[in-house]
Amino acid sequence: MTFRFKGNPPSRRQFLTGAAAIGAGAVAATTARAAGDPLITEPQYWAQGLGEGVDATPYGLPIEYESDVVRRNVDWLTADTISSINFTPIHALDGTITPQGCAFERHHSGAIELTKEDYRLMINGLVDTPLVFTYGDLERFPRENHVYFCECAANTGMEWAGAQLNGAQFTHGMIHNMEYTGVPLRTLLEEAGYQTTGKWVYVEGADASGNGRSIPMDKALDDVLVAFKANGEALRMEHGYPVRLVVPGWEGNMWVKWLRRIEVADAPVESREETSKYTDTLANGISRKWTWEMDAKSVVTSPSPQSPITHGPGPLVITGLAWSGRGAIKRVDVSKDGGKTWETARLAKPGERMALSRFYLDTEWDGTEMLLQSRAMDETGYVQPTKAQLREVRGLNSIYHNNCIQTWWVKPDGEAENVEVS
């Protein structure tokens, strides 16, 4: 994926067109009328007639009025839509679990269709017995369940050089958070009898890109999961059906989909996806490699450019997501004045390791402009940096691992915009 800073010919944003209509309805509902609200005083068809039968929808989709809560792509980011990215609508979601149907996709040679019958997983290399597993074999190993975030290394990567895309979906939506069911990689490595000379595993997918990556054995034996269920059901095709790797806290590229082979090796392969890509160039031209962990990060999802304030001054819920590949989120601070002053927000529940946390700041909005920011802290004491602090160390060309503090400029009309501040 190649990110460019300038895109196609400009087109006008219309975020507020729909929002204004919603706002008008809200005003009507809260305004006292002499005749009473007809939605209350007059019988409505849904209170008189019949709804759909239980046989209408064997597997349902969201109601049509939620049709804006969908994955979006940005066509100028990549050369084509096959080796490309799309974005989770985090601006419209709440809680922490990402619905699979709108959870972002990143492929290098498209989303392939691989049946359970055709599925094979090989373990070879420095093992006592190279093995082949069928899908059915994998379901016979003892299982675990864990919730983890999967964040693309390039999430927010288009924002290194400045404020570019106008919406949390586009700036921070290369992420999803699911409850995975699977077998610890350690269990499969033990089944094959991994040898002590094996310091690395090389993992690759069944798709044409292969997406091969080298993972140090310590991580492979620690918490890596060979997963076949997500959020209770089979993986979606686009998320690696029937089997993917789950690599808690580490960059999404390593979460190899359609996993077909695990090679135990005494050295890393230095594959394309860990040399040409997923290496981070510093200002002096030297590049970091093996930047596996995703650092502590957060974003206000509402208000945000795609989720403006439509209700006017008064009580306002500021909410967002925080996460860290180093461990659990301990605290999130929110600023309304661009970082001059900070208030500590409320976590919906205690942070879980390598999983999304939801935060809320229940506040009173006086109708004046705000420069909204959020700042995550994890259990290691790491504090999410500003973009200026990151640029000081890394320059502008890292592409990946942009975990900077995001600023939304909320204007008196409730509209919000992606900005950078001094």
Q: Which of residues 185-214 bind other proteins (CB under 8 A)?
A: 187, 190-193, 202, 204, 208-210, 212
Compute the radius of gyration of the chain from its Cα atoms: 23
Whole-angstrom CA distances from 121 to 97, 204, 421 are 28, 10, 49
**Nearest partner of 159 among 413, 410, 398, judged by Cα:** 398
User: Is there binding between residue 21 and other proteins (CB under 8 A)?
Assistant: no
Peptide bond into 242 cis (omega under 30): yes
38 vs 136, beta carbon nearer other proteins: 136
Cβ neighbours of residue 45 closer than 8 Å, sequence gap 6 or more:
none
User: Is there binding between residue 67 and other proteins (CB under 8 A)?
Assistant: no
User: Is there binding between residue 267 and other proteins (CB under 8 A)?
Assistant: yes
Instruction: Please give the Cα distance from 304 to 299 (Å, whole number).
Output: 9
- For the bound state, the minimum distance from the C-beta of residue 110 to other proteins, rounded and expressed in Å, comes to 9
- For the bound state, the minimum distance from the C-beta of residue 99 to other proteins, rounded and expressed in Å, comes to 18
Peptide bond into 303 cis (omega under 30): yes
User: Is there binding between residue 78 and other proteins (CB under 8 A)?
Assistant: yes
15 vs 241, beta carbon nearer other proteins: 15
Contacts with other proteins in 223-242 (CB under 8 A)? Answer: 223
Exactly one of 237, 269, 311, 391 binds other proteins (CB under 8 A); that residue is 269
Task: Tell me the window of 26-34, 56-64, 70-78, 239-247 that interacts with other proteins (CB under 8 A).
Answer: 70-78
175 vs 262, beta carbon nearer other proteins: 262
Contacts with other proteins in 377-406 (CB under 8 A)? Answer: 377, 379-385, 389, 393, 396-397
Contacts with other proteins in 95-154 (CB under 8 A)? Answer: 108-109, 122-125, 129-134, 137, 140-144
Task: Provide the residue type at 173 as one letter.
Answer: G
3-state secondary structure of 275: coil
Q: Are 342 and 375 in contact (CB under 8 A)?
A: yes
Contacts with other proteins in 299-358 (CB under 8 A)? Answer: 305-306, 327-328, 333, 337-342, 350-353
Which stretches of 185-270 are assigned E, i.e. beta strand? 200-205, 213-216, 225-230, 233-234, 244-246, 259-265
- For the bound state, the minimum distance from the C-beta of residue 264 to other proteins, rounded and expressed in Å, comes to 11
- For the bound state, the minimum distance from the C-beta of residue 317 to other proteins, rounded and expressed in Å, comes to 21
Q: Are 191 and 124 in contact (CB under 8 A)?
A: no
- For the bound state, the minimum distance from the C-beta of residue 149 to other proteins, rounded and expressed in Å, comes to 16
